[in-house]
Structure 1
Amino acid sequence: MRFTLRQLEVFLATARLGNLSQAAEALSLSQSAASESLKTLEQQFDIQLFDRTGKKLRLNDLGAVLRPKAQALLDRAIDLELDLQHHQDAGGLNLGATMSIGNYNAIPLLARFVDLYPAISPTLEIANTRRISEKLINFELDVGLIEGEINHPELIIEPWQDDELILVCGARHRLAEAGIQESGQAAVQTLSDDELRDAEWILREQGSGTRQTFERAMSGLLPQLHVRMELQHIEAIKQSVAAGLGISCLSRLSVEDMLESGRLVELKAEARNFRRQFFLVWHKKKFLTAAMAAWIDLCRESA
């Protein structure tokens, strides 16, 4: 064999980070050792894997083709090493989840997984759909749970669970007060398109699955809506809405606690569909390790 696993590690780390110095640091190598490793790999096969612009290295077409094959081979080597050490189920598992799923769905599932497979050490990164998808494509995560709709030829995207977004306002918001009947009982206030236009909105940021579902449901009204704030974190949105700064659209699961306590009040919108799908996602060219397979099976069982 004319290449080494170390050479593949340097190639993949450089492809991921776009910088040889950072790749060397990530692999605990000197920059000269990493540079020599990559140089030798290219010279052995008379190829060039990167386009070089100053200190920045960008994968060229050949490098992009070889990258998933190199990643799969390295993953298999790591899996084999674990088998040779008689710890087949040991190892790491890099998981990603979008905000709503990561904060409310994934944690109980992760706790069950750790209980079933104590030898596996999982990590969980929580970010928006765009970020999690980018990391899966870049082989930085093994499996993702996302709430936004994506379509990428390199990803396996499997429907997982159903979810519903709802509109909410603070208990003292004028729209909540309008829903109080003469009997004093609260009723869910249904908002017209005009009331949706007049409202001040506090929304998730662009690139999030929640924002994607909201914009699809509000088709025809988007240019006329007054977005007062965009926030990345669900808890910050909930607290802002409870304080009366505006109304929002969030997963029912994420606001159940504040609905029960009375700090938030549910609203409805005429003829607007806020239902959505959660998805289980991984790279189709990534070697499916025992840890990945176990996590995917557990997610399927929970659907």
Structure 2
Amino acid sequence: MKYSLRQLEVFLATAYHENLTRAASSLAMSQSAASSALKDLESQFDVQLFDRVGKRLQLNELGQSIRPRAQALMEQAKGLETALARHQDIGHLKVGATLSIGNYLAVEIMARYMGEQDGARVELEVANTETIVRKVANFELDIGLIEGETRHPELDLLHWRDDELMVFCAPDHPWAGRPWLSDAELLEAQWIVREQGSGTRQHFEWAMQGLLPDLRIKLELQHTEAIKRAVEAGLGIGCLSEITLVDAFKRGSLVPLPVPQRNFHRRFYFALHRQKFRSAGIERWLELCRSSLSE
């Protein structure tokens, strides 16, 4: 074999950091050792994998084409190492979840996953859909749980569960208790909504087709709890996932505003890289997510 796993590690770290010094540091190597490993990999096949752009090392077309396969090979090698050594990190996963999913669904699934096997660990990153998709595509996360659809060419989207966005207001709002809101009232309202790049915002805009240019967006906030607090304070009306509003509706601190003429139905998805090795841990995580629907 003309290449080593260590050479592939250096190649992947350099592709991620776009800097050989930082790549070497991340692998606990000297810069000269990392540089030598990368040069040996390129010279053995008489190829160049990076373009030098100032101080950056940027993947060229060939480098981009082999990166997913190198990543998949490294994942399989790590899986084999784990199986042979029975290491305590056997169930280690890096999961990304959008805010609604991360705050209201993923933590319970994480607890069940970690409770099944000794030494299992889950690193949970909560961010908007755009960020999660980027990190799954860049192999920084093993799996993403997202609210918005994406057409990223390197990702597979698998349907997980259905969801519904709901419009809501404070209980002392003049519209509280209305049987429904008309489109004219939707245009009259002051809206407090999620930021651009979030799955919730993406579907809100899709549902408001025909009205969007004239909607009065008063505030754009990154966190669902901040939106709920702002609506409770009477600053406007909001639109969030049903799963984030259940407790507030039960307490009566917020009330729903039906908008039957608008389609607020949407789906949650698993986002997985097509070239990533799907370990037993990833498959078990998917099983636990799906089984949560029947409970």
The 5 Å alignment of 1:43-62 reads 43-62=43-62
* Structure 1 range deviating more: 200-209 or 147-156: 147-156
CA contact (8 A) 1:97 1:144 kept: yes
Match for residue 185 of structure 1?
Answer: none
Give per-residue Cα distances to partners, 1:72-127, cap 9 Å, x unaligned: 11111111111221349715211111111111011111111111123321111111
Q: Alignment partner for residue 188 of structure 2, among 198, 220, 235?
A: 198
How far residue 47 of structure 1 moved from its aligned partner, in angstroms, is 0.8
Match of 1:21 in 2: 21
Q: Give the letter aligned to residue 219 of structure 2.
A: M
CA drift of 1:285 comes to 0.8
Distance in 2 between residues matched to 1:22 and 1:174, nearest whole Å? 57
Q: Distance in 2 between matches of 1:258 and 1:301?
A: 26
Alignment partner, residue 120 of structure 2: 120
For residues 153 and 257 of structure 2, what CA distance do their matches in structure 1 show?
A: 38
User: Which position in structure 1 is the counterpart of 2:224?
Assistant: 234
Pairwise mapping of residues 1-303 of structure 1 onto structure 2 (< 5 A)?
Answer: 1-87=1-87, 90-176=90-176, 179=177, 188-303=178-293
Structure 2 CA distance for aligned equivalents of residues 193 and 24 of structure 1: 58
Q: Secondary structure at the match of 1:120?
A: coil
Amino acid at match of 1:153: P
Q: Which moved more, 1:235-244 or 1:77-86?
A: 77-86
Segments of 4+ in structure 1 off by > 4 A? none
Looking at structure 2, the residues matched to 273 and 289 of structure 1 have their Cα atoms a distance apart, in angstroms, of 37
Q: Which residue pairs with 1:183 in the alignment? A: none
Q: Tell whether the 8 Å contact from 1:17 to 1:23 is kept in structure 2 after alignment.
A: yes
Q: Which amino acid aligns with 2:74?
A: L
Coordinate RMSD, CA, aligned: 1.6
User: Residue 280 of structure 1: CA displacement?
Assistant: 1.3
Runs of 5+ in structure 2 lacking a partner? none
Q: Decide whether the 8 Å contact of 1:91 with 1:121 is kept in 2.
A: yes
TM-score by length of 1: 0.92
What is the distance in 2 between the residues matched to 1:276 and 1:222?
18
Q: Secondary structure at the match of 2:269?
A: strand
CA distance in 2 between counterparts of 1:89 and 1:289 reads: 13
The amino acid of 1:262's aligned partner reads G
Structure 2-normalised TM-score?
A: 0.94
2-side partners of 1:255 and 1:86: how far apart?
Answer: 43
Q: Percent identity?
A: 55
Are the equivalent residues in 1 in contact too, given 2:88–2:120 (CA < 8 A)?
Answer: no
- Please say if residues 204 and 231 of structure 1, whose CA atoms lie closer than 8 Å, have aligned partners that are also in contact: yes
- Relative to structure 1, the CA distance from residue 169 to residue 220 in structure 2 (aligned partners, 3 Å threshold; closer, same or farther) is same
Secondary structure of 1:288's aligned partner: coil
- Pick closer, same or farther for the CA change 1:108–1:95 going to 2, 3 Å: same
CA contact (8 A) 1:94 1:142 kept: yes
Amino acid at match of 2:9: E
Q: State whether residues 148 and 200 of structure 2, in contact with CA within 8 Å, keep that contact through their aligned partners in structure 1.
A: yes
Question: Hey, what's the Cα distance between the residues in 1 that align with 2:31 and 2:192?
Answer: 47
Count of residue correspondences? 293
> 8 Å contact 2:88–2:118 — kept in the other structure?
no
